[in-house]
Amino acid sequence: MAIELSPVEDGDWRTITDVNMDTFHEHEHPVIDIMFPHHHTPAGRDIMARRLQQTAKSDASGHHLKLTDTAAGKIIGQGRWAIVPPQPGNEYPAPVISGDYWASEEDVEFANWCIGAYTAFRRRKFREATRPVFAITSLTVLPEYEGRGAGSMFVRWGTEQADAIGSECIVESGIRAESFYAKHGFERIEHVHWPPPEKWRHYGTQEVPMYIFLSGERIMLIRLSGDHDNFDFRKPEGGVAKPENRLNMPRNPRLI
């Protein structure tokens, strides 16, 4: 089976949404219900697709990629790498989400609490960084295509670039994916869970699931010529992108 890695296009977002929702295991990701209301319904997924597309258009740091089974002409997976340059003084506050997708203001408040808790680790790493940080913020592959190399192709797209300049890669992962990321050099550095405040226990989630935070600090012992802190990370036209000569990274990257 031939798999192609390429940027997500405008017409792909509804399919990307289906891949996401058909892949997540709800017992591991109960926050999906509050983050994406009515995601079980076609109408809910249409809204989710529009939200993802709108976010991507203003996403300066994100590289949204799709994995396609070329023989079947089918998108089988998707993911996003965020490449965030050091920005001294940027405190990376928690993202704020809003919109008329939720049934009540309380739902919006709880959704913002969830996204703040979930992104706390990566935001801390961004604050501490002295080199660009490569963060996997999303990766899903349809269950029937797992174990065929699609996810690994996506991971290598970022790790090869990070290795070339000695940068760190990070990912927030559920426990069931830990062995997959370990194959690519990631090691567990934190294991946390977030009990929601008492006022939100009525949502039926007594505990937001535990996540393991993984870091792949694979510093390559190579000598880089020229100004090795400056590279241009190009999005792929199919396959793995390579660092070029100069950096043209965003100054104000979005986090999600």
pLDDT tens per residue across span 190-208: 777 777 788 887 776 544 4
Distance CA 43, CA 38 (A): 8
Number of Cβ atoms within 10 Å of the Cβ of 242: 13
Give residue-wise pLDDT tens across range 167-178.
999 998 877 788
DSSP string, 29-64: -THHHHHSTTTTSHHHHHHHHHHHHHHHHT-SSEEE
Distance CA 57, CA 28 (A): 29
Give residue-wise pLDDT tens across range 30-85.
677 888 888 889 999 999 999 999 989 988 899 999 999 999 999 999 999 999 99
Which parts of the chain fold into alpha helices (H)? 13-23, 31-35, 42-57, 105-118, 120-128, 150-165, 178-182
For position 65, what pLDDT does the model report?
A: 98
For the chain, the structural domain boundaries read 3-216
In terms of CATH architecture, what is 3-216? Answer: 3-Layer(aba) Sandwich (3.40)
Angle, vertex CA 147, rays to CA 34 and CA 167, nearest 5: 75
Answering whether pTM is above 0.75, one says yes
